[in-house]
């Protein structure tokens, strides 16, 4: 496939949604696999919903996720800039372009001025609903002559411009995911193309922009499927070649409902703040609605690019399973360098009050060992606070059942005395000494195996299971170990 051009064109109405990231990702994978170009365009024609900072968040989120685009809107030197040969890439800067094409539709009879008041439109809708009909515009202004309409516009009468669909005509199109689709124009509304404020609607702007920017494949969410016939008719009205359509299944929660803020995390920032790695989130997200031919689940970006095709995208909504995401993310945490996870972990440890910037800078080896000790058990980096809490606590809590099983007999008393005695002879508990410590306790007490290790572990950590004991000894240090042993002797 030559000269493929795709685009991701979100509205700046808030933080980037996880479903939006998946759409951007599929566009990126397809463009990369086929040597095409990927464009980031901002669709901000609905100025009432514009959120300050949303464009910057969008750019940063895509950058963090490793979803790179070739042209469009970028963030450089503290400001939003545009790069590419097809700009402007922000719709609110293109109003003069849309006006030109709306005028062409009006002159050619494919659109008309509509002067109906909001009250009349609401009245029609209510009446249609009462009759069990699908609410849509009744075409009241379709037959106003262009000459009369222009005179009314000139006189200052409030108006919009609507698409003039032909009656009772089947519009055919092929969607790579959905197959062949036919929709009759009698089932479609005469869509508003230009609003009374002079801004185009999505339906007008998207067609003009996609054509002028040379977009060959429209890859977007399935919620736009019912609007596609209107867009195809606009391509025909202008005499333009229509693009290839790909409508992606919705990202659903476990209850098979659309992911929404009411049910938990939905923005890319939410997952980033929870300590998900971009590789983990992107790998998992790719599989929500798509699978490679060999059903491989752990894929690098390069592998996803090589294996990706729209033919393998599901027709049904993809279920976003957080447990599966955690499993994938855990894999990437374990595969990452301890240094990288340490840098990610420090803000969470500072937030819990366990360390501060000064401590983490001055005790790098200790911090690396702390992360290394629990790294295998992490699903997200934010979990580290709970995993290492026992290291920082002044006093650990041991539940009654565990205490009775491991610490209530004379064996435990002998071990605690031996620990205190052994440590009284050393100045510092470094890693080399930690490796020999339990052997020294065994030699002094004659206690071996499970009877040796389990009571010591419970006394020092509060749990019968956990990370490598040698690491725990090093991390706790001499003073804390003595204090915890003394607590058992009380």
Active site residues: 261
Provide the Cα torsion 320, 323, 326, 327; round to 10°: -110
- Beta-carbon count within 10 A of 275 CB: 22
Are the C-beta atoms of 65 and 286 separated by less than 8 Å? no
Q: Tokens 């429209």 belong to which residue?
A: 218
> What is the DSSP code string of 290-346?
B--TT------HHHHHHH--GGGB-SSPEE--HHHHHHHHHHHHHHS-HHHHHHHHH
Q: Tokens 């790098």 belong to which residue?
A: 364
Residue 234 class from Cβ within 10 Å (0-12 exposed, 13-18 middle, 19+ buried)? Answer: buried
Q: What is the DSSP letter of 195?
A: -
Structure tokens at 184: 């009759």
> What is the DSSP code string of 5-20?
EEEE---SSSSPBHHH
Distances (CA, A) of 49 to 18, 182, 259: 19, 33, 20
Long-range contact list for 56-59, CB < 8 A, 24+ apart? Answer: 56/80, 57/15, 57/16, 57/269, 58/10, 58/12, 58/16
Return d(Cα 163, Cα 472) in angstroms, integer. Answer: 71
- Work out whether the CA dihedral 78, 80, 81, 83 comes out positive or negative: positive
Of 359, 374, 391, give the one whose Cα is nearest residue 275: 374
């Amino acid at each position: 496939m030559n000269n493929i051009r795709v685009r991701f064109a979100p509205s700046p109405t808030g933080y980037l949604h996880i479903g939006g990231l998946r759409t951007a990702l599929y566009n990126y994978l397809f463009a990369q696999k086929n040597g095409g170009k990927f464009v980031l365009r901002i669709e901000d024609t609905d100025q009432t919903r514009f959120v300050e900072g949303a464009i910057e968040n969008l750019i940063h989120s895509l950058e963090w996720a490793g979803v790179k685009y070739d042209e469009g809107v970028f963030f450089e030197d503290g400001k939003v800039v545009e790069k590419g040969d097809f700009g402007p890439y922000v719709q609110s800067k293109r109003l003069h372009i849309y006006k030109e094409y709306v005028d062409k539709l009006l002159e050619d009879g494919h659109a008309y001025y509509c002067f109906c008041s909001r009250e009349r439109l609401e009245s029609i809708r209510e009446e249609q609903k009462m009759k069990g009909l699908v609410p849509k515009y009744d075409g009241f202004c379709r037959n106003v002559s262009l000459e009369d309409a222009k005179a009314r516009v000139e006189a200052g009468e409030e108006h919009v411009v609507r698409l003039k669909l032909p009656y009772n005509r089947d519009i055919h199109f092929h969607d790579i995911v959905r197959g062949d689709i036919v929709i009759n124009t009698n089932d479609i509304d005469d869509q508003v193309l230009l609003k009374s404020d002079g801004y185009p609607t999505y339906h007008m702007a998207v067609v003009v922009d996609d054509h002028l920017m040379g977009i060959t494949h429209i890859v977007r969410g399935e919620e736009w499927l019912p609007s596609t016939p209107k867009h195809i008719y606009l391509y025909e009205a202008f005499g333009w070649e229509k693009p290839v359509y790909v409508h992606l299944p919705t990202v659903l929660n476990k209850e098979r409902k659309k992911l929404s803020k009411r049910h938990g995390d939905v923005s890319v920032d939410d997952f980033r703040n929870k300590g998900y790695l971009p590789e983990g989130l992107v790998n998992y997200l790719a599989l929500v609605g798509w699978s490679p031919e060999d059903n491989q689940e752990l894929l690098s970006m390069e592998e996803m690019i090589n294996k990706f095709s729209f033919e393998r995208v599901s027709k049904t909504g993809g279920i976003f399973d957080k447990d599966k995401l955690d499993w994938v993310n855990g894999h990437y945490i374990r595969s990452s360098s301890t240094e990288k996870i340490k840098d990610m972990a420090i803000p969470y440890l500072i937030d819990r009050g366990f360390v501060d910037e000064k401590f983490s800078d001055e005790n790098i080896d200790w911090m690396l060992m702390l992360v290394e000790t629990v790294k295998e058990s992490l699903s997200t980096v934010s979990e580290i606070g709970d995993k290492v809490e026992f290291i920082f606590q002044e006093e650990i809590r041991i539940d009654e059942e565990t205490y009775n099983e491991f610490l209530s007999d004379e064996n435990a008393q002998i071990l605690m005395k031996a620990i205190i005695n052994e440590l009284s002879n050393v100045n510092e508990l470094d890693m080399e000494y930690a490796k020999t410590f339990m052997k020294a306790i065994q030699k002094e007490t004659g206690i071996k195996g499970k009877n040796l290790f389990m009571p010591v572990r419970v006394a020092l950590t509060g749990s019968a299971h956990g990370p490598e004991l040698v690491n725990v000894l090093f991390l706790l240090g001499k003073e804390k170990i003595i204090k915890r042993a003394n607590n058992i002797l009380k």
